[in-house]
Structure 1
Amino acid sequence: MKSEDDSLDQNDDELFEHYRFVASKGQEPLRVDKFLMNFIEYATRNKIQQAAKNGHIWVNGGIVKQNYKVKPDDEVKVLFEHPPHEFLLVPEDIPLDIVYEDEVLLVVNKPAGMVVHPGHGNYSGTLINALLHHIDNLPANSNERPGLVHRIDKDTSGLLVVAKTESAMTHLAKQFFDKTSEREYIALVWGDVEQDEGTIEGNIARNPKNRLQMQVFPEGNEGKEAVTHYKVLERFGYVSLVSCKLETGRTHQIRVHMKYIGHTLFNDERYGGEKILKGTTFTKYRQFVDNAFKILPRQALHAKTLGFVHPITGKHMRFDSEIPEDMSDCIDKWRHYAQHTR
């Protein structure tokens, strides 16, 4: 699957976001609106259907309706209206949970549900918008994203370090590149993990049939090297609580690696964890799991620990954060269930 996205000026008052995808040779017939939902993050069905009504979806150069069935090698293009770039990076007075701050960096505890940087479908309310209000003249990284040394997913909670100067950005980014930073995540995963601890290795790249997912390529013929070290903290029968330490930092790394070894994150909708993957068929159990999903309406993943060397002092710094209430309550619910079913 090939894809590209760019911006096209339609006139002085409008700016559209343009996406182009070429369906793979193994593509099964699929409605174009559902096809695009698999390839454009945060694009709602309504937004895609509106684009179709406006004549802004093309397949092989011709305008199509939303019920067109995409076939192998089809070229699909879509245009969405969105704010100009200069309106994306605006300061917004959004509260930040700052764990530490000095003249060159800060460590923030990001809540679940907050997008890290503006992009399609999330033009405001992001961590970047909040940081720009808190700090003047944030340095841009290689992707023109102010202050960001690394990032975590929208529905993952936890710690991030932000650079306030260019020298700090360079110094911290090198630590992440050299794999000398410390990052520990806590995850609740489906299944009783067989080994008490282990290492998952496997290159990660985009899933060719669903661009919103990443995929492990164990032969190493695609993607980038990815290494995750895990350790089981508690076992609750049908789910396990694990610690994951990152040696590399690929997109969705823990989510993809844990699924790869058969232990998808609990309630990780993008990777199928919102379904009952382990357990019984009893109605009471299904109701219990549904209630657990309601308590934690996101993937069960928290960036708990972050360690690095300070760019100026050379001192090793290590920060730890509490597991947020929604995830903690879900874990307690499973712990109570396990104690009463053994």
Structure 2
Amino acid sequence: MPRDCVIDQALTVPPSRRPRASGAGRLPVGFDVSSGLGSPAMTPIESDPLRSRLRPLAESAPARTDRESAEAEDDAPLVSIKLTGRPRPRLAEEPIEFVVKSKLEGRRLDTYLTSRFPDYSRSVIQKVIDANAVMVNGKPARASQKVREGDFVSLRLPELWDGTIPAQDIPLTVIYEDQWLSIIDKPAGMVTHPGKGNWSGTVVNALQHRYDTLSQLAGSTRPGVVHRLDRDTTGLLIVARDDTIHGKLAQLFETRTIEKEYLAICSGIPERDRDWIDQPLGPHPTVREKMAIRGEADGGRPARTFYEVVERFDRFALVRCQPLTGRTHQIRVHLTHVGLPILADKLYSGRDRITRGDLLGWQARGDDHDHVLLTRQALHAHRLKFLHPATGEPLEIRSPLPPDMAETLETLRQRPAASSTNPTRFSITRRL
């Protein structure tokens, strides 16, 4: 495998759709212009060569796995996973029986059982109740009913996970591979590692089948996993083959000396050709699955993303993003914040399906009008660039756009071209 491995998809951008070029002096401090994807690529620069920008890596650094971990990818940080039941668990043969004490009465049954049996998530407890495996005073229970002092509860819980991850012969697209690490091209709809409700069919299940040894630094449910991508985000994912290499890769993420570049197809009209988004992110106040712009007092953590318009269309754009931090859903939330929600991102745009008719209107006729282009967010981890942690050689990997995004892009090119904004209108989007 060549030291500098580049796999890319031709993405010729017509001149009428390109943002007008600007001198390097108009880029944010620390960025230069180089070739790539039909418009300037974003490459952090300093006076020293790439090698001298890295901290010494003689000693391996243990991977961090909490929410503070800088090695975590934008779409989701690596977190400790509490053991829970399988999505379709086998119930134990012998029931557990007990009487409710007075100090615990008045709570919902599902909440009460979750607190009493912390190894099981609330969703698993609810599935057990729905399966009529929980009886209160001899009658099938409901999740919402309140428990009372003296209630006699009998239930059969699922067998807990036994600590093993099954190896599964799942096809993987491996773009780069050597004795120390691999880089795969993750498809849409595939979870990175096992967790609640996803104990099979994950990237890790496939890795267990392909490799005899993987790093164990991230925990028993995440062998080899250095960072992760959201289920429906496609693209490049680094896999560590041993603990020493994992530690060094983690240090690259923590020192932000690994370049990560994403491509997103967005709706909206970009006000600027390139810009910083500097907005802290934290859990959404009412929707558990979402993140939101949040001040530090409300649990927000610093988050920075640089974005650049690659190609403009009428009310749509292809945008390249380089996150400098790795917060959950960072790119998705930041782009939505500046009026550029990613296509088919149900969580943040409200739409989970895009058809040719949605993009072309009357130009799409008959069956072509209802042809589905996207059923997941149009976000792709396109490029990684870093020094190989074992050899010290530069390594740059690119992944072509997946078919659904490529087809969407070709469809958008049938729309009228949009004019570029003045590239001198660069400013930093600061915290509110």
Name the amino acid aligned to 2:283. R
SS in 1 for 2:415: helix
- Is the CA contact (8 Å cut-off) linking 1:53 and 1:65 kept in structure 2? no
Partner in structure 2 of residue 119 of structure 1: 195
SS in 2 for 1:210: coil
Gap change, CA 1:327 and 1:48, over 3 Å in 2: farther
Partner in structure 1 of residue 385 of structure 2: 307
1:259 paired to 2:336: yes
Distance 1:80 1:309 in 2: 52
* TM-score, scaled relative to structure 2: 0.59
Distance 2:350 2:303 in 1: 21
In terms of fraction of residues, the more strand-rich structure is 1
Distance 1:257 1:80 in 2: 45
| Cα offset, 1:233, TM superposition | 0.8
Task: Map 1:41-56 to 2 at 5 A.
Answer: 51-52=129-130, 54=132
| Cα offset, 1:117, TM superposition | 0.8
Gap change, CA 1:104 and 1:283, over 3 Å in 2: closer
| Cα offset, 1:99, TM superposition | 0.7
Partner in structure 2 of residue 153 of structure 1: 230
Distance 2:268 2:191 in 1: 29
Gap change, CA 1:261 and 1:312, over 3 Å in 2: same
| Cα offset, 1:123, TM superposition | 1.8
Which of residues 172, 193, 206 in structure 1 aligns to 2:249?
172
- Is the CA contact (8 Å cut-off) linking 2:191 and 2:203 kept in structure 1? yes
| Cα offset, 1:65, TM superposition | 5.5
Structure 1 residues without counterparts, runs of 5 or longer: 16-31, 33-42, 57-62, 69-78
| Cα offset, 1:184, TM superposition | 0.4
Name the amino acid aligned to 1:271. Y
SS in 1 for 2:260: strand
Partner in structure 1 of residue 165 of structure 2: 89
- Is the CA contact (8 Å cut-off) linking 2:265 and 2:342 kept in structure 1? yes
Name the amino acid aligned to 1:230. Y
- Is the CA contact (8 Å cut-off) linking 1:202 and 1:220 kept in structure 2? no
- Is the CA contact (8 Å cut-off) linking 1:100 and 1:107 kept in structure 2? yes
- Is the CA contact (8 Å cut-off) linking 1:83 and 1:123 kept in structure 2? no
Gap change, CA 1:160 and 1:276, over 3 Å in 2: closer
Structure number with the bigger relative contact order (C-alpha 8 A, sep ≥ 6) is 2
- Is the CA contact (8 Å cut-off) linking 1:108 and 1:161 kept in structure 2? yes
The number of equivalent residue pairs is 293
Distance 1:177 1:170 in 2: 10
Task: Map 1:114-263 to 2 at 5 A.
Answer: 114-144=190-220, 145-219=222-296, 221-263=298-340
| Cα offset, 1:120, TM superposition | 2.0
Residues 100-130 of structure 1 show CA distances to partners (whole Å, capped at 9, x for unaligned) of: 1111100111111111111222221110000
Gap change, CA 1:333 and 1:82, over 3 Å in 2: farther
Name the amino acid aligned to 2:266. V
Distance 1:317 1:121 in 2: 35
Name the amino acid aligned to 1:212. E
SS in 2 for 1:167: helix
| Cα offset, 1:179, TM superposition | 0.9
Gap change, CA 1:264 and 1:149, over 3 Å in 2: same
| Cα offset, 1:321, TM superposition | 1.0
1:108 paired to 2:184: yes
Structure 1 window deviating more from structure 2 (197-206 vs 133-142): it is: 133-142
Aligned-residue CA RMSD (Å): 4.0
Distance 2:90 2:131 in 1: 18
| Cα offset, 1:224, TM superposition | 2.5
1:326 paired to 2:421: no
| Cα offset, 1:189, TM superposition | 1.0
Distance 1:274 1:83 in 2: 38
Distance 1:287 1:83 in 2: 54
| Cα offset, 1:292, TM superposition | 8.0
- Is the CA contact (8 Å cut-off) linking 1:51 and 1:80 kept in structure 2? no
SS in 1 for 2:309: strand
Distance 1:162 1:112 in 2: 18
Distance 2:333 2:158 in 1: 30
Residues 51-96 of structure 1 show CA distances to partners (whole Å, capped at 9, x for unaligned) of: 456387xxxxxx6567x9xxxxxxxxxx997674336611111111
